[in-house]
Amino acid sequence: MESERLKLAPPSLEFSEPMYEVIEDSRAEFSQFLPWVTESLTKDDVVKNTQEAIRNYEAFIGEFWFNIIEKETDSFIGAVGFIVRDGSVPFFEIGYWLQTSKTGTGYVSEAVRLVERYAFLEKEAKRVEIKMAGSNTKSQLVAKRCGYQLEAQLNNARRLPSGELDSTLIYAKHT
């Protein structure tokens, strides 16, 4: 999948090293909302997670991601997660993270639109959701900018990595 500025590539061990480097570079920001970004996350963990994502992508089950590649630099800059919530509907969830130095460029919105097109056109989605912590205002702006509608606010539904209690917001598009 490609846009003018980005290429989205399926999970691949080719991107494990640059993925780990981006996570390390953006750890302070990521660890606010992504519970898997811990001090104990290792390169080996990223490789194992990538191997699982490759299997899930090939079987079209569970959770996997698309690597966000900036065309201008041919660099890995983030990921757009894809979760098969219910293949019988079909109903999917997407999530995203981007290298801190690349935020504010519209890249995440561009990547979300590409994955959304994949979900609706190639996988015949009936529903696509984006969930986030209520305090994650940047993620909310992406969902709104991409035309997703707020369907629910689940108060006290998640604990942030900091231990603080937060709500979960559910934005969705459906056919």
| CATH at 26 | 3.40.630.30
Residue 1 lies in a domain: no
pLDDT, position 31: 78
Q: Name the pTM for this structure.
A: 0.93
Residue 72 lies in a domain: yes
109-154 pLDDT tens trace = 999 999 999 999 999 999 999 999 999 999 999 999 999 999 999 9
Q: Is residue 128 within 8 Å of residue 171, measured between CB atoms?
A: no
Q: Per the structure, how many domains does the chain have? A: 1
Residue 133 lies in a domain: no
64-109 pLDDT tens trace = 999 999 999 999 999 999 999 999 999 999 999 999 999 999 999 9
Of the candidate ranges 3-17, 40-54, 104-118, the one whose mean pLDDT is the lowest: 40-54
- The secondary element (H helix, E strand) that includes residue 17 is helix 16-25
Residue 162 lies in a domain: no
Q: Which domain holds residue 33?
A: 6-127
**Distance, CA of 80 to CA of 139 (rounded, Å):** 12
CA within 13 Å, CB half, 20:
17
Residue 34 lies in a domain: yes
Residue 70 lies in a domain: yes
